[in-house]
Chain A
Amino acid sequence: MNNGPFLFLGSFVALLLSWLGLVVVPQVQLRDLQPVKNDTTGKYYPLQRLGLARQGAEVYRANACYTCHSQQVRQEGYRFRAVLEKVGTNETELATALMKLNPRWQQSDAELFAQAEGEALTDMEHLTLQQKASLEARFDSTKVSEYGAKLRFDFIPTGADIEVRKWGVRASVAADYLYDDPLMLGSQRIGPDLSNVGNRWPEAGWQLHHLYHPRTKVEGSTMPDYRFLFEKRRIGAAPSPAALQLTGDLAPADGWEIVPTADALALVAYLQSLKVTEALFEAPTTVAP
């Protein structure tokens, strides 16, 4: 390979392909993404952040909070859980019907289940889509619905982020970030994921104390203190209602108080605005009964 133009052209094509594949094609696919209307509530999702929350996003950006906190929930799969929503009026018939669903159940089990209204059926909490469809059809063919019995199948997204850590209710998708600018997905979880923190820790007081000294709220936390977001000042005519309630070593000297700055309040408003629970076509949350 001693041909300069050939070297140049080949390198050009090589990078061009990745540029097209990773940047241009996704841009073409997603550029017309629009907020979706929820038919039940009539509201659009997502909504732009306004006012204080919008300023808070700037504080989050300026302090590079995304270095330690991700904002993306991973979903590994999903399952269905069979729940006997209504037992109806004919218990014997229902027990016979339930027997048809699972050959491993004894008559006595089925009779017991037939009385347990609103409870999940044992051995039927990890169903695939196919299993769920076939069980549903088998149950429907037993005609117990004529006596008012009803079997419901709950759709449950799975994965450690959702089931163990409870950081979110479903996988994060592009629509969730429609108005995020800059986008701060984060690449590390030195701290917990914040995609749905507005629902998990909605309380502003908790957030402010946590920012001032995280270990007052979370034992053994490695998060640094963000004291520069607070102001230490002399108490005026009366103590400020916004002042932090601090005890022990952290408490300021008599006559002094520690109050959050505008930045701290904005940051907390931003954290409170981080809420992702909406069901979308590409990310269903639960299947209504």
Chain B
Amino acid sequence: MSSQPANAKSLTTDTITVSGRWAFLGLLGGAACWLAVAGVLGLIASIKMHSPTLLADSAWFSYGRLKAAAGGAFNFGFATQAAIAIALWLAAVLGRTTVKLPLLGAAASKAWNLGVVLGVAGILYGDGTGIEGLEFPRYAVGVLLFAFIGLALPVFVTFHNRTVRELYPSLWFVIAGLFWFAWLFSATSLLVHFWPVRGVLQAAVQGWFTNGFVVVWLFPIAIALLLYLRPALSGVSIPSRATVLLAFWSLAFIGPWGGIATGTPLPAWVGALSTSMSSLIVIPIFALCSSVGGLKPARSADPFAAISWKFADFSFLALVLFGVLTAINSFTAVYRLTQFTFVTAALQSLALYGVVLTALLAGAFQILPKIAPPSAMCARVGGLLLWVSRCGIALLILSLLLAGLQQVLALASAASFADATTASKMWFRMSTMGELLIALSGLMFLAYVCSTTFRALKAEYASCAWCGAGAKPAEVAS
């Protein structure tokens, strides 16, 4: 395998993927563990919603701590790590170059995981900061900030060494998304942990971060993947470059403004401006719709192409739904009713699970099968995972949405407040089912990554007697 430009033509997606296998396996392995952990923590929290005496004697498992820990494990442990893996892969594949500094990426992912362990354990222990979405304690954030340098560096170096000078649209989103995340995370960490701002200004910092984390960090990576995967798997090109440009710049200038609801006790203009801007999020989403929305998958013998396509389809649908619901929710008559109810939680799950989780899994099923030759079993596990996770996510979002709507109706009819929460109890049971399926898919994904790692290791040491014979070397192509 070579990174010389002269040999660039001989690089295929397979050989590029194999060149960075340790980075991908490290990142996706860590991500898979955290998805399973987040699923289990979320599951316990969800059960507590309808069985409030469960684990009542344990401070570590109080509802608030579980929710915060599950959120931290998902956002930082799973989503960020998997997004870095996808970003690295896209940078290499679209730049037609081998993955640079793969071992630094793998090592940094270990450091990152240490940071997330500290963060999740810290929250469960009672060290959470109290700022929603930024609950990781200071010692965890310090580790994460350093580890992030190691995670981002391979992506930028790989991008820098690209042999195709023309930037495919996905790369705009990847590079800008990484840059935005670095700014969002470092700036808000400093303002939360090192030079804390006073009073309601913490709400401004928190709103800016939690919205930006989803809309200008995870969404750009999901969009980059959709922009690559949909044309690639349908075998046609993106019809309009101008429309994708519009999507990119409108996301850049509109996306980071959301996150602060009208009525937040900041000066009225802040919330009103933020709410108005959040409704405009449909513009980049509609632009994406018009550019890659109508594509159909090409016939392919590869079972993983079909799995990826279906995950990506789900993600795309969720993205459009998220845009439309966010726009509707920005109207005064609507948000006055939905604010503080489960409708907000449903919208958040739609973004994190519906859009991001499925897009990242779609990417993972493009990367992992190329690292080590998958068995027929792998394709079956992949197919099962597709169904379990799609059902789980749909069930969770739907139940939260229905719980929220029931709450809205009960509150509007001036029922007592306790009645309004009790009324949605049935939907909480349904959401527990959803959390269970998501936790299961986390475990299945973990099993899949482990088996790929095992086979990659076997291929690596195929020549060793103690590894057993018969394993094919993975780097045939080079």
**A residues whose Cβ falls under 8 Å from a Cβ of B:** 1-2, 4, 7-8, 10-12, 14-15, 17-19, 21-23, 26-27, 29-31, 33, 60-68, 70, 72, 74, 76, 160, 164-165, 171-174, 176-192, 214-215, 218-228
CB < 8 Å neighbour of B67 from A67, A70, A185: A67
A221 touching B418 in the complex, CB below 8 Å, given contacts A23-B205, A177-B200, A189-B341: yes
B68 within 8 A of A: yes
A224 touching B53 in the complex, CB below 8 Å, given contacts A21-B273, A23-B208, A26-B201: yes
Cβ–Cβ contact A64 & B199, under 8 A: no
A–B pairs, 19, beta carbons within 8 Å: A2-B166, A18-B257, A19-B187, A19-B256, A22-B274, A31-B201, A63-B62, A63-B126, A72-B265, A160-B411, A160-B414, A180-B199, A182-B131, A184-B130, A186-B132, A189-B341, A190-B49, A190-B421, A218-B418
Chain B: CB-nearest residue to A12: B179
Give the distance in Å from the alpha carbon of A189 to the alpha carbon of B128 in the complex. 20
**B residues whose Cβ falls under 8 Å from a Cβ of A:** 48-50, 52-54, 56-59, 62-65, 67-68, 123, 126-132, 135, 165-167, 172, 175-176, 179-180, 183-184, 187, 191, 196-208, 212, 216, 245, 248-249, 252-253, 256-257, 259-260, 263-267, 270, 273-274, 336, 339-342, 344-345, 411, 414, 417-419, 421-422, 425, 428
CB < 8 Å neighbour of B183 from A15, A68, A171: A15
Cβ–Cβ contact A228 & B418, under 8 A: no
| Majority secondary structure of chain B interface residues (helix, strand, loop or mixed) | helix
Chain B: CB-nearest residue to A192: B417
Give the distance in Å from the alpha carbon of A66 to the alpha carbon of B336 in the complex. 20
Cβ–Cβ contact B204 & A227, under 8 A: no
CB < 8 Å neighbour of B64 from A15, A65, A219: A65
Question: Within 8 Å CB of A65, what residues of B?
Answer: 64
Question: Within 8 Å CB of B59, what residues of A?
Answer: 63, 228
Give the distance in Å from the alpha carbon of A245 to the alpha carbon of B158 in the complex. 67
Give the distance in Å from the alpha carbon of A72 to the alpha carbon of B260 in the complex. 13
A-B pair count, CB < 8 Å, reads 217
A49 CB → nearest B CB, Å: 13
CB < 8 Å neighbour of A188 from B131, B336, B340: B340
Chain A: CB-nearest residue to B202: A183
B261 CB → nearest A CB, Å: 8
A224 touching B48 in the complex, CB below 8 Å, given contacts A10-B249, A63-B65: yes
Give the distance in Å from the alpha carbon of A165 to the alpha carbon of B130 in the complex. 26
B42 CB → nearest A CB, Å: 12
Question: Within 8 Å CB of B212, what residues of A?
Answer: 15, 18
A185 touching B265 in the complex, CB below 8 Å, given contacts A1-B172, A18-B256, A64-B64: yes
The winner among B175, B199, B274 for most chain A CB atoms within 10 A is: B199
Question: Within 8 Å CB of B204, what residues of A?
Answer: 22-23, 26-27
Question: Within 8 Å CB of A225, what residues of B?
Answer: 52-53, 56
Question: Within 8 Å CB of B128, what residues of A?
Answer: 61-62, 64
Give the distance in Å from the alpha carbon of A27 to the alpha carbon of B341 in the complex. 29
Question: Within 8 Å CB of B205, what residues of A?
Answer: 23
Cβ–Cβ contact A188 & B345, under 8 A: yes
Question: Within 8 Å CB of B216, what residues of A?
Answer: 15
Cβ–Cβ contact A33 & B256, under 8 A: no
A222 CB → nearest B CB, Å: 5
Cβ–Cβ contact A2 & B167, under 8 A: yes
B218 CB → nearest A CB, Å: 15
Cβ–Cβ contact A67 & B63, under 8 A: yes
Cβ–Cβ contact A174 & B200, under 8 A: yes
B410 CB → nearest A CB, Å: 12
Cβ–Cβ contact A183 & B62, under 8 A: no
Chain A: CB-nearest residue to B125: A62
A219 touching B257 in the complex, CB below 8 Å, given contacts A11-B179, A23-B208, A188-B345: no
Question: Within 8 Å CB of B56, what residues of A?
Answer: 224-228
Chain A: CB-nearest residue to B167: A2
Cβ–Cβ contact B64 & A27, under 8 A: no
Question: Within 8 Å CB of B417, what residues of A?
Answer: 165, 189, 192
Question: Within 8 Å CB of A192, what residues of B?
Answer: 417
Cβ–Cβ contact B263 & A74, under 8 A: yes
Question: Within 8 Å CB of A10, what residues of B?
Answer: 249, 252
Give the distance in Å from the alpha carbon of A268 to the alpha carbon of B257 in the complex. 38
Since A14-B253, A26-B204, A74-B336 are in contact, a sample of 16 more A-B pairs with Cβ atoms closer than 8 Å, ordered by chain A residue number, is A1-B245, A11-B180, A12-B179, A18-B212, A19-B256, A23-B187, A63-B65, A64-B130, A171-B263, A177-B265, A181-B199, A182-B202, A220-B422, A222-B52, A224-B56, A228-B58
A18 touching B208 in the complex, CB below 8 Å, given contacts A64-B67, A67-B63: yes
Cβ–Cβ contact B167 & A1, under 8 A: yes
Cβ–Cβ contact A224 & B196, under 8 A: no
Cβ–Cβ contact A191 & B131, under 8 A: no
Cβ–Cβ contact B165 & A2, under 8 A: yes
A22 touching B259 in the complex, CB below 8 Å, given contacts A174-B266, A182-B131: yes
Give the distance in Å from the alpha carbon of A67 to the alpha carbon of B263 in the complex. 19
